[in-house]
Copies of this chain bind each other. A is one copy, B any other.
Amino acid sequence: MIDRGPHPIEPWQLRETELPMDKLAQAESLFALSNGHIGLRGNLDEGEPYAIPGTYLNSFYEQRPLPYAEAGYGYPESGQTLVDVTNGKLIRLLVDDSPLDVRYGELHSHERRLDFRTGILTRELDWTSPAGKRIKVTSRRLVSLTQRAVAAIEYVVEAVDQPVRFVVQSELVANETQPKLSNDPRVSAVLESPLQAVSQDSDDEEVILVHRTRSSGQLMAAGMTHTVECPARTEVDVDVRADWGRTTVVAELQPGESIRVVKFLAYGWSSLRSETAITDQVSAALVGAKFSGWEGLVAQQRVFLDDFWDAADVEVEGNPELQQAVRFALFHVLQSGARAERRAIPSKGLTGAGYDGHTFWDTEGFVLPVLIFTMPDAAADALRWRHSTLRMAKERAEVLGLRGAAFPWRTIRGQECSSYWPAGTAAFHLNADIAAAVDSYHLATGDDTFIKDCGLELLVETARLWMSLGHHDRHGNWHLPGVTGPDEYSAVADDNVFTNLMAARNLRIAASFVTRFPDDARRLGVDTEEEAAWRDAAAAVYIPYDEELGVHPQSEGFTDYAMWDFEAYKDKYPLLLHAPYFELYRKQVVKQADLTLAMFWCGDEFTPEQKARNVDYYERITVRDSSLSACVQAVTAAEVGHLDLAYDYAYEAALIDLLDLHHNSGDGLHMASLAGAWTALVAGFGGLRARAGGLSFQPVLPTGLNKLAFTVRWQGVRLRVQIGQEEVTYDVHDGPDASIAILHEGQEIQVAAGKPVTRAVHPRKPLLPRPTQPLGREPLSALGNTTSTRH
């Protein structure tokens, strides 16, 4: 049984009842707070012990050279790494003459709670110093969802049974020491002292430090101000240096007395604006925060989150652990995107610097499908960020000898940062994934302004890319040789089914929007010939099929490859750390859903029997070394009737970070998998699919789940879906006139406010028996965990 750490299963919070030193990194990620602009890892207030200190500003990065022992044309020369910026979380405490450090003295209790409804991280500790002074500390921390530049900490210290002199040092510290990281390619590059001091300012109240990155030349400011409440006399002192600022509060308290320090933090950065402009911006944010006060910030946070949960909550009856996990997941997805506002949503959000803080296709492929249905404005913002990088994508295409736009495989600011092209640049499907997200967003919202502003251009330029990537053979079939699909244990293959289908879809979507927005299309230089060429290529797309086996090869020839020796590698996962790419690429072994993802995203291109046979085939060779797999396997397993298997995968997707299933949650949480937990439930058991014709549902629950309820936003209406083992009820709640037409099991039904519709749920029989997985790669059993209250 996997150890889930000291986390009781509770529906609306994640609680940690002890502080195990070997799980510090994971806890720092789990308890990270973010609004999509500022990210604070769950480091302890006093800074130490830590695993990875982390304070991040979305898209604030440093450049570093990408080295190549053998360079090649078009290789990116410069990478981007998310910077650990000035740490404002620090509040050190001196208890008489002992610094508060949980590794010394006696820690009677230590508890942290992340409340998904309040958005507040609470910490309570009861500690006796080495010198015998017992104290209690309660700190509460938030990153404001309503005041984007602001975070705040309420810090309360109580003298328990003896008089104590407390010195509270609240700090801003730049260029924190970074731990040495492993050689695992998935972790980030270490930046040594990335910040150069530009200026410092302080008065009795406020401290602001301004720094600049050495190479990327970005400017940032971090500021703090405080309020202090204390029954005794206090003295406050402010000190500042190039790389730190410190507000010191000293007081002597009697037993039972406590001192309360509220720390207001503000951050700002820009690559364009001046030092004074950023300093002013931070100063203003501090004034605003202080004006709201701690209670005001807390109240605003609650209002924001109530609104979010009203339209996003997923209720799961029958599996409390999954219930908690899916809310934890949604909370972090919300945090990653809520206020990103035309900045990227990185694959680990702002919970850690894993993968250098880069954004991949995870955003459009996994995170946006959730945001589109729960917080569509945030989805639009993320796509507007992509559009803001279009110039760079067009330049990249030109370097590569291609037309249109080639978006980067991994980036912070928009430039390609992937140094290994077979699993980077060659994975052009990213561009079709962006186009699909544009289409999905518009389907869900009807937001024509977005299309005119940027959506159409994204579609047109990606379509142009595909036309320059593909070609017709002498029989008129349209091919895409030498590209890399989603599965990273294959690369540079011919006619990857996923890529070919998604490219064709991209071309069709582009053509369709060009028809609907003809004036805007002409402005982009699209004429009817170009449009016709898109439709023609899409219609002629070649999809390999293995007639003998009755399955789709992931790419041309894939099913003729030798099988991977799963037995020999049964203890060696992830395989990428134990086998060369060469061997992985030329054998039948799949890191993550690829053909399976094609069956989800392009489901209409497969017959039910093909889906059943493909699921059966690929389940046996998919090792899920990627966090992007379980959620997709959940959806397709559910669709072909393997409900128990789907349940297991949904559970695994949701628990990925709570159980640290990939052993790297310490570098940051896996946003795509967390978002995928929602998808596994909603698209898997809810059977939700969005089509031009409207929302469609095919609900069914696995044994063990009594109820699954969720809400999706669709064309401005909130549709609540409550699925039981026997029946499903659809309801809308957005004003008295709200009404929506949906498909239930293929039949159109109308749902209006106050008129819920209930329909029977039909059991689903799989065509084939439940497939097996590679030895040692069976999913966790969701059913095995329904009654457990393990700690």
**A567 → chain B, closest Cβ, in Å?**
13
Q: Digitize A569-602: 1 where CB-to-B-CB distance is under 8 Å, 0 elsewhere.
A: 0000000111111110110000000000000000
Q: Which of A314-322, A419-427, A739-747 contacts B (4 or more CB under 8 A)?
A: A419-427
**A541 → chain B, closest Cβ, in Å?**
14
List the B side residues contacting A401 at CB < 8 Å.
Answer: 568, 579-580, 583
Cα distance A71–B402 when bound, in Å?
Answer: 27
**A190 → chain B, closest Cβ, in Å?**
13
Q: Which of A471-479, A638-646, A730-738 contacts B (4 or more CB under 8 A)?
A: A471-479
List the B side residues contacting A756 at CB < 8 Å.
Answer: none
CB pair B492 A492 closer than 8 Å: yes
* Interface flag for A418 (CB, 8 Å): yes
CB pair A562 B471 closer than 8 Å: yes
CB pair A185 B421 closer than 8 Å: no
Count of this chain's copies in the oligomeric assembly: 2
CB pair A586 B482 closer than 8 Å: yes
CB pair B556 A69 closer than 8 Å: no
* Interface flag for A481 (CB, 8 Å): yes
- Of all chain B residues, the one with the shortest Cβ separation from A402 is B583
CB pair B419 A557 closer than 8 Å: no
List the B side residues contacting A68 at CB < 8 Å.
Answer: 67-69, 419
CB pair B73 A420 closer than 8 Å: no
CB pair A582 B482 closer than 8 Å: yes
List the B side residues contacting A426 at CB < 8 Å.
Answer: 582
Q: Using A400-B583, A426-B582, A474-B548 as known contacts, say yes or no to A72 and B481 having CB atoms under 8 A apart.
A: no
* Interface flag for A561 (CB, 8 Å): yes
CB pair B560 A400 closer than 8 Å: no
**A543 → chain B, closest Cβ, in Å?**
15
Q: Which of B400, B419, B491, B562 contacts A69 (CB 8 A)?
A: B419
* Interface flag for A256 (CB, 8 Å): no
* Interface flag for A529 (CB, 8 Å): no
* Interface flag for A74 (CB, 8 Å): yes
CB pair B482 A585 closer than 8 Å: yes
List the B side residues contacting A479 at CB < 8 Å.
Answer: 560, 562
* Interface flag for A79 (CB, 8 Å): yes
CB pair B562 A72 closer than 8 Å: no
Cα distance A583–B402 when bound, in Å?
Answer: 9
List the B side residues contacting A560 at CB < 8 Å.
Answer: 473, 479, 481
**A470 → chain B, closest Cβ, in Å?**
8
CB pair A420 B580 closer than 8 Å: no
CB pair B419 A580 closer than 8 Å: no
Q: Size class of A's contact patch?
A: 35 or more
- Of all chain B residues, the one with the shortest Cβ separation from A576 is B73
Q: Digitize A377-419: 1 where CB-to-B-CB distance is under 8 Å, 0 elsewhere.
A: 0000000000000000000000111100000000000000011
CB pair A578 B69 closer than 8 Å: no
List the B side residues contacting A579 at CB < 8 Å.
Answer: 73-74, 401
List the B side residues contacting A577 at CB < 8 Å.
Answer: 73
CB pair B425 A70 closer than 8 Å: no
Q: Which of B73, B79, B471, B491 contacts A580 (CB 8 A)?
A: B73
Cα distance A471–B400 when bound, in Å?
Answer: 35
Cα distance A585–B479 when bound, in Å?
Answer: 15
**A304 → chain B, closest Cβ, in Å?**
38
Q: Digitize A445-484: 1 where CB-to-B-CB distance is under 8 Å, 0 elsewhere.
A: 0000000000000000000000000010110000101110
* Interface flag for A607 (CB, 8 Å): no
Cα distance A579–B576 when bound, in Å?
Answer: 29
CB pair B471 A421 closer than 8 Å: no
CB pair A481 B583 closer than 8 Å: no
CB pair B66 A69 closer than 8 Å: yes
* Interface flag for A494 (CB, 8 Å): yes
List the B side residues contacting A561 at CB < 8 Å.
Answer: 471, 481-482
* Interface flag for A183 (CB, 8 Å): yes
- Of all chain B residues, the one with the shortest Cβ separation from A580 is B74
Within 8 A of B (CB), among A575-633: 576-583, 585-586
CB pair A421 B582 closer than 8 Å: yes
> For A420, A473, A560, A576, which residue has the most chain B Cβ atoms within 10 angstroms?
A560
Cα distance A419–B68 when bound, in Å?
Answer: 8
List the B side residues contacting A473 at CB < 8 Å.
Answer: 560
Cα distance A712–B471 when bound, in Å?
Answer: 50
- Of all chain B residues, the one with the shortest Cβ separation from A399 is B580
Cα distance A698–B399 when bound, in Å?
Answer: 48
List the B side residues contacting A578 at CB < 8 Å.
Answer: 73
- Of all chain B residues, the one with the shortest Cβ separation from A565 is B401
CB pair A580 B69 closer than 8 Å: no
Cα distance A586–B422 when bound, in Å?
Answer: 12
- Of all chain B residues, the one with the shortest Cβ separation from A71 is B185
Q: Digitize A225-252: 1 where CB-to-B-CB distance is under 8 Å, 0 elsewhere.
A: 0000000000000000000000000000
Q: Using A67-B69, A79-B69, A492-B585 as known contacts, say yes or no to A580 and B421 having CB atoms under 8 A apart.
A: yes
> For A400, A494, A582, which residue has the most chain B Cβ atoms within 10 angstroms?
A582
CB pair B70 A185 closer than 8 Å: yes
CB pair A581 B421 closer than 8 Å: yes
CB pair B72 A581 closer than 8 Å: yes
CB pair B71 A183 closer than 8 Å: yes
List the B side residues contacting A422 at CB < 8 Å.
Answer: 422, 492
CB pair B586 A419 closer than 8 Å: no
Cα distance A79–B67 when bound, in Å?
Answer: 14
Q: Which of B71, B72, B421, B576 contacts A72 (CB 8 A)?
A: B576
List the B side residues contacting A399 at CB < 8 Å.
Answer: 580
Cα distance A650–B275 when bound, in Å?
Answer: 67
Q: Which of B481, B557, B582 contacts A400 (CB 8 A)?
A: B582
**A454 → chain B, closest Cβ, in Å?**
27
- Of all chain B residues, the one with the shortest Cβ separation from A184 is B71
Q: Digitize A42-81: 1 where CB-to-B-CB distance is under 8 Å, 0 elsewhere.
A: 0000000000000000000000001111111110000100
Cα distance A491–B422 when bound, in Å?
Answer: 11
**A381 → chain B, closest Cβ, in Å?**
29
List the B side residues contacting A581 at CB < 8 Å.
Answer: 72-74, 421
List the B side residues contacting A402 at CB < 8 Å.
Answer: 583
- Of all chain B residues, the one with the shortest Cβ separation from A577 is B73
Cα distance A70–B576 when bound, in Å?
Answer: 12
List the B side residues contacting A556 at CB < 8 Å.
Answer: 557
Which 10 residue pairs spanning A and B have beta carbons closest together?
Answer: A482-B586, A69-B419, A67-B67, A471-B562, A74-B580, A66-B69, A70-B420, A481-B586, A70-B419, A70-B185
| Besides the known contacts A74-B580, A426-B582, A482-B582, 19 further A-B residue pairs in the complex with CB atoms under 8 A apart | A69-B419, A71-B185, A72-B185, A72-B581, A73-B577, A74-B581, A74-B582, A400-B583, A401-B579, A401-B580, A421-B580, A421-B581, A422-B492, A425-B580, A471-B561, A482-B561, A483-B586, A492-B582, A556-B557
A-B residue pairs in contact (CB < 8 Å), sample of 12: A67-B69, A68-B419, A70-B419, A71-B183, A71-B185, A73-B579, A74-B582, A399-B580, A482-B586, A492-B492, A492-B586, A557-B557
